[in-house]
Amino acid sequence: MKTFSVLVMGVFFSLWLVPRLDAAAQFGRGRDRICVYQDIHYQGWEQCYGPGDEVASLDKHNNAISSIRIYGPARITVYEDTNFRGHSVEFSSDVPDLGLRIISGSKSWSDRIKSLRVSPDSAATAFRHDRDRDRDEEVPRDGICVYERADYQGRSECWNADDEVRDLARVGNWSDKISSIRVFGRTVAVFYRDIDLRGERLMVDHDIPDLAQVSMRGFGTWNDQISSLEVEAVRGRGRGRR
Residue 55 has pLDDT above 60, yes or no: yes
C-alpha distance across the termini of the chain, in Å: 62
At residue 122, the pLDDT reads 63
Mean pLDDT of 122-137: 45
Q: What DSSP designation does 240 have? A: P
Cα–Cα distance measured from residue 2 to residue 32, given in angstroms and rounded to the nearest whole number: 47
* pLDDT tops 70 at residue 229: yes
Give the long-range contacts of residues 152-155, CB within 8 A, separation 24 or more.
152/125, 152/127, 152/128, 152/180, 152/182, 152/209, 153/180, 154/179
| Domains of the chain, first to last | 33-120 (2.60.20.10), 143-233 (2.60.20.10)
Does 237 have pLDDT greater than 60?
no
Q: Who contacts 157 (Cβ-Cβ below 8 Å, separation ≥6)?
A: 145, 146, 171, 172, 174
Whether pLDDT at 103 is above 60? yes
Written as one letter, the residue type at 92 is S
pLDDT in tens, 5-49: 545 455 444 444 333 333 333 444 446 889 999 999 999 999 999
Give the percent of the chain with pLDDT over 90. 55
Residue of 52 and 136 predicted with greater confidence: 52
